[in-house]
Structure 1
C-alpha cells in the first residue's frame, strides 16, 4: 500500500487549465491514474480521443462535453463515462470554468483526430 501525500501530487498546466495528479504509475505505482482538472473559464481542450475509458466526475462549475457526436451540459455531481475510441472535447463554462476528478487506466494514450497517437499525458504517466 502507498500513501501519496498532498505535497507529492504532480501539477501539469495546459492552455485550458491545470491537472493535479493524485496517483499514477510514477506517483505511488498505481495501475490507474487519478487527477483533478481545474479548467479555466470559456476554454476547451483540443478535439481528441483516448485508447482507454475515462471517468469524469464534475465537482464545481459547468462544462459542455462533446462525446461521440452528442453534446451534453454537465454540472456539479454529474459523471461522464467516456468510452475508448470515442472522439471527445470538453469546454469549460464561461463564468467559472469547472473542477472535475478523472480516472483512467495507467498509460492511457491520447489520439488526435488525424489518428496520430499523441502519447501518454503527464498527468496519467
Structure 2
C-alpha cells in the first residue's frame, strides 16, 4: 500500500490547463495515473492522440470533446471514455470552464501534429 499525501500532489501548468497528479508511476508507483484537469472558460486543448484508453469524469463546468470529428458535450457528472489511437481535442465551456478527474495508463504516450511522442509529465 502506498499513501500519496495531498501536499505531494504534482501540479503541471500548460498553456491550456493545469493538471494536478494524485498518483502515477513516479508518484506512488502505480501503473495507472490519476489526475485532475482544470481549464479556464473557453480554453482549448491541443489536437492529439493517446495510445491508451482514458476515462474523464466532469466534476464542474462542461466540455466539448471531439474524437475523430465526432463531438459530444459533457457536463458535471458525465463520464467520457476515450479509446486509444483516436484523434481528440477537449474544449472547456466558454462560460464555466472545466474541472475533470482523469485516469489512464501511467505510460500513456501523447502524439500529435508538430509534437514528438512523449509521456506527459502529469501521467508519468
Q: Does TM, scored on the shorter chain, surpass 0.5?
A: yes
2:82 aligned with 1:88, yes or no?
no
Q: Specify every segment of 5 or more residues in structure 2 that has no aligned partner in the other structure, as ranges.
A: none
* Paired position in structure 2 for 1:57: 57
Q: What RMSD over aligned residues (CA atoms) do the two structures have, in Å?
A: 1.1
The Cα shift of 1:117 comes to 4.1
* Paired position in structure 2 for 1:105: 105
Count of residues in correspondence between the two structures: 124
The Cα shift of 1:69 comes to 2.0
Deviation digits for residues 34-80 of structure 1 (CA, Å, limit 9, x no counterpart) = 00001111011110000100100001001100012210111001101
CA contact (8 A) 1:49 1:113 kept: no
2:15 aligned with 1:21, yes or no?
no
* Paired position in structure 1 for 2:117: 118
The Cα shift of 1:7 comes to 0.3
* Paired position in structure 2 for 1:6: 6
SS in 1 for 2:45: coil
CA contact (8 A) 1:41 1:98 kept: yes
Q: Specify every segment of 5 or more residues in structure 1 that has no aligned partner in the other structure, as ranges.
A: none
Whole-Å separation in 1 of the counterparts to 2:25 and 2:74: 29
CA contact (8 A) 1:109 1:117 kept: no
Which TM-score applies when normalising by structure 1? 0.95
Which TM-score applies when normalising by structure 2? 0.96
SS in 1 for 2:122: coil
Whole-Å separation in 1 of the counterparts to 2:2 and 2:122: 18
